[in-house]
Structure 1
Amino acid sequence: MKDHLIFFDSTCPLCQKSVQQIQEMDSGHIFEFFPLDSAKASELLPEKFRKGDTIVLMENRKRIWTRAKAIFRILKLLGGKWSWMGFLCYVPGLDLFYRIIAHNRHLFK
């Protein structure tokens, strides 16, 4: 199993497209992906992180990032032209925008 794990809502078209995009960008194959409702998520994630309306990054199998912070941390870990966006995971307030999109995530097809 890889060191960086991404857990996502597998019933969400937007989430599925996001995972597909990350896989295409992941030239170093540093991420492994699991649905939030999977046995692996139950095994590795505390229950409070297994809510279906978020993306969860478990970095180095230790640190957990959620919502917008997870997305920007993923971009940082991908490296290359996206790594500069990593600093955004520390910008306050971005989770509000994430929650608005997450609340309407099933509308994106």
Structure 2
Amino acid sequence: MDRGGTRGVIDDKLKDLGLQRNVVYSIPHFLSACLLAARSEHLLTVPRLLGERIADAFALRLHELPFSMPGFTIGLHWHQTRDSDPEHASFRRFVIKTLTS
């Protein structure tokens, strides 16, 4: 799964190993991709933390990639008019706590 495309870092890493993948679907949402993988014979790549947390729910097996992947940054953005909204601030704290635990 690449961000809306069919080529990316994984393809470069596989090429270095003399391998290539056959991209059948390009799905922009991890949960949809997990559901598809659970109901088919297809493979998908997801961040390790996500895989560890959802593998049981989708009856998926986890395997390490045969190469290392670069890290990435997740950003949390909101409109400035919501800066002092207590419910919005509470939700932001929840998201941060969930993603960092």
Tell me the TM-score normalised to structure 1 length.
0.28
Q: Which has the larger radius of gyration?
A: 2
Higher relative contact order (CA 8 A, sep 6+): 1
Which is richer in strand? 1
Tell me the TM-score normalised to structure 2 length.
0.30
